[in-house]
């Protein structure tokens, strides 16, 4: 039997293999809500401009709502021979209401229909990401507030570099996520034009009102070029690139959590809720959620690459290739959403080990730069020379098997007689972090200001910086010249 939705000129139905390669209903049924909303807007507009009678419009709308109800209660039977969500819905509408259903497809095509449906879907997904990103940012900001003065090693090349505060480190991700948020917002703004009424590719001779359908579906305006409208998939590509960047950021943080939670580092403990045990090694707590987040970026970027390859070289306007946009995009969007949710949960439950971080920050002569800076600022020694002298001081400490803080004033004078006891004030990791008060630097009082800024931005409630303790309990915190 030929397809009753388009089979007029066909004598037989498609080969089974053809049906299998052609059908999208297996995955595009996810678009049922958007498809029905689009059809309701379209039918309502057709009645407004006099193409449909009000009675037909009402029958169509009632019927579409019944179809939606059936799908939501799992009473709907999707049929592969009806190819996709658009024809499955319309065919069921015909069964339910009879003749008026046949008038719904006036002045539109599946080409503008699918572009509209998917835009609505992606727009909803973006709105979810925006809310999820803010939730993760807020979770990070709360943790950062608790850790404004927590000292940890700052790394370059994953080697101890200079002490930083954990609050500062966490806020670095808040900044990245802020840019991700901006990219999604931007993509949303650009996608929000309605393709509906572009019809197959050239527009339609019917006197339709595209502004009305655009407004009914929450679009800012109708698209201005029908060829572009039915063949544009930029909105998905843009969303997938924003998703790739966001997932890459999550992946970096996930990698840090994997490292930090290892026995060798021991900086944090991940909660039972986000770790798993081993079936053979009873002592294990594996950071599986972090590892999976670390990996997800591959699928998300894979979706971007895949769709980019689908689109490149496609002539205008619609080609069936474009049906390949959905599976990868659905997968990428749910992967990102799941990753954001899991990361938020991990951040909320994370237990930092402050002593361990401090001890690690203190290792590896991490305040050597502070010694050099002291020589420059107190003794007016050129930085290059100060760097050299400091190198000799580090070598002496290494030889004596102690930290810079452990050296006596005689030790310092042995290297350079101009050094006096004031040098001891800059040797602690607390002093080092507290001294970095330049805008954007790691000093606890800076971090407190940034925490307050983000809190205000994220909650809409003005928030004041928390008071920072002047001394960190170890060494001579905050006392810098």
Token pair, residue 398, equals 């290494």
Query: To the nearest whole angstrom, how small is the minimum distance from the Cβ of residue 25 to ligand ARG?
Result: 8
Q: Does 136 bind ligand ARG (CB under 6 A)?
A: no
Stretch binding ligand ARG (CB under 6 A), from 55-63, 107-115, 295-303, 400-408: 107-115
Give Rg (Cα) of the chain. 31
157 is catalytic: yes
Q: Are 350 and 357 within 8 A, CB to CB?
A: no
Beta bridge partners of 151: 165
Q: Which of 2, 79, 262, 278 is catalytic?
A: 278
Phi, psi (deg, nearest 5) at residue 237: -60, -40
Query: To the nearest whole angstrom, how small is the minimum distance from the Cβ of residue 271 to ligand ARG?
Result: 42
Beta bridge partners of 153: 163
Beta bridge partners of 41: none
Task: Convert 215-267 into a string of H (helix), E (strand) and C (coil).
Answer: HHCCCCEECCCHHHHHHCCHHHHHHHHHHHHHHHHHHHHHHHHHHHCCCCCCC
Q: Are 409 and 356 within 8 A, CB to CB?
A: no
Stretch binding ligand ARG (CB under 6 A), from 185-193, 280-288, 316-324, 452-460: 316-324
Nearer to ligand ARG, 120 or 340 (CB): 120
Nearer to ligand ARG, 111 or 244 (CB): 111
**Residue 140: closest CA among 243, 256, 239, 238:** 256
Count of residues making up the chain? 481
How many residues in the shown chain lie near ligand ARG by CB under 6 A?
10
403 is catalytic: no
Q: Does 35 bind ligand ARG (CB under 6 A)?
A: no
Nearer to ligand ARG, 176 or 322 (CB): 322
Rounded-to-integer distance, Cα 284 and Cα 257, Å: 16
- Report the helix count and the strand count for the chain, using DSSP H and E: 18, 6
Among 116, 162, 261, 323, binds ligand ARG (CB under 6 A): 323
Query: To the nearest whole angstrom, how small is the minimum distance from the Cβ of residue 228 to ligand ARG?
Result: 16
User: Quick one: how far is CA 237 from the chain centroid?
Assistant: 15
What 3-state DSSP class applies to 11?
Answer: coil
Query: To the nearest whole angstrom, how small is the minimum distance from the Cβ of residue 110 to ligand ARG?
Result: 4
Among 67, 101, 104, 114, binds ligand ARG (CB under 6 A): 114
Stretch binding ligand ARG (CB under 6 A), from 55-63, 276-284, 319-327, 430-438: 319-327
Q: Does 24 bind ligand ARG (CB under 6 A)?
A: yes
Query: To the nearest whole angstrom, how small is the minimum distance from the Cβ of residue 83 to ligand ARG?
Result: 6
Rounded-to-integer distance, Cα 221 and Cα 211, Å: 6
Phi, psi (deg, nearest 5) at residue 163: -65, 140
Nearer to ligand ARG, 67 or 114 (CB): 114
Stretch binding ligand ARG (CB under 6 A), from 38-46, 314-322, 382-390, 455-463: 314-322
Rounded-to-integer distance, Cα 468 and Cα 465, Å: 9
Nearer to ligand ARG, 114 or 171 (CB): 114
What 3-state DSSP class applies to 156?
Answer: strand
Q: Are 171 and 450 within 8 A, CB to CB?
A: yes
Q: Which of 157, 279, 417, 438 is catalytic?
A: 157
Site residues (CB under 6 A) for ligand ARG, limited to 40-99: 84
Q: Does 322 bind ligand ARG (CB under 6 A)?
A: yes
Q: Does 110 bind ligand ARG (CB under 6 A)?
A: yes
Which residues are known to be catalytic?
157, 278
Q: Which residues bind ligand ARG (CB under 6 A)?
A: 24, 28, 84, 110-111, 114, 318, 320, 322-323
């Amino acid at each position: 039997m030929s397809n009753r939705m388009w089979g007029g000129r066909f004598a037989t139905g498609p080969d089974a293999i053809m049906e299998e390669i052609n059908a999208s209903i297996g995955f595009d049924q996810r678009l049922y809500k958007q498809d029905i909303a689009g059809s309701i807007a379209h039918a309502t507009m057709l009645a407004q401009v006099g193409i449909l009678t009000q009675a037909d419009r009402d029958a169509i709308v009632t019927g579409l709502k019944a179809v939606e109800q059936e799908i939501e209660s799992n009473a709907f039977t999707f049929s592969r021979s009806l190819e996709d969500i658009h024809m499955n819905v319309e065919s069921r509408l015909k069964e339910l209401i009879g003749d008026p259903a046949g008038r719904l497809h006036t002045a539109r095509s599946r080409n503008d229909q699918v572009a509209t449906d998917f835009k609505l879907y992606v727009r909803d997904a973006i709105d979810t990401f925006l809310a999820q990103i803010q939730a993760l940012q807020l979770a990070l900001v709360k943790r950062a507030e608790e850790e404004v003065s927590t000292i940890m090693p700052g790394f370059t090349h994953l080697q101890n570099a200079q002490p930083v505060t954990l609050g500062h480190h966490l806020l670095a991700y808040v900044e990245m996520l802020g840019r991700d948020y901006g990219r999604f917002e931007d993509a949303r703004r650009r996608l929000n034009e309605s393709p509906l009424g572009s019809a197959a590719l050239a527009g339609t001779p019917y006197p339709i009102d595209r502004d009305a359908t655009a407004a009914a579906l929450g679009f800012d305006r109708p698209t201005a070029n029908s060829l572009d409208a039915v063949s544009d998939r930029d909105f998905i590509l843009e969303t997938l690139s924003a998703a790739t960047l966001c997932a890459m950021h999550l992946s970096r943080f996930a990698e840090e959590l994997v490292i930090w939670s290892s026995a060798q580092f021991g900086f944090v403990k991940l909660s039972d809720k986000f770790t798993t045990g081993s079936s053979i090694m009873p002592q294990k707590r594996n950071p599986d959620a972090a590892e999976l987040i670390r990996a997800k970026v591959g699928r998300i970027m894979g979706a971007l690459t895949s769709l980019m390859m689908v689109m490149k070289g496609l002539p205008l306007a619609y080609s069936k290739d474009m049906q390949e946009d959905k599976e990868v995009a659905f997968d990428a969007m749910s992967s990102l959403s799941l990753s954001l949710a899991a990361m938020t949960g991990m951040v909320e439950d994370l237990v930092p080990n402050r002593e361990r971080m401090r001890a690690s920050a203190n290792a590896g002569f991490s305040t050597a730069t502070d010694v050099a800076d002291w020589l420059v600022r107190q003794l007016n020694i050129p930085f290059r020379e100060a760097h050299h002298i400091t190198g000799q001081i580090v070598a002496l400490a290494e030889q004596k098997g102690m930290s810079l803080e452990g050296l006596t004033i005689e030790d310092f004078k042995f290297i350079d007689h101009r050094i006096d006891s004031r040098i001891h004030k800059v040797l602690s990791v607390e002093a080092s972090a507290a001294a970095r008060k330049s805008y954007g630097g790691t000093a606890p009082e800076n971090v407190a200001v940034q925490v307050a800024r983000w809190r205000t931005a994220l909650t809409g409630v003005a928030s004041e910086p928390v008071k920072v303790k002047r001394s960190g309990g170890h060494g001579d915190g905050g006392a810098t010249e």
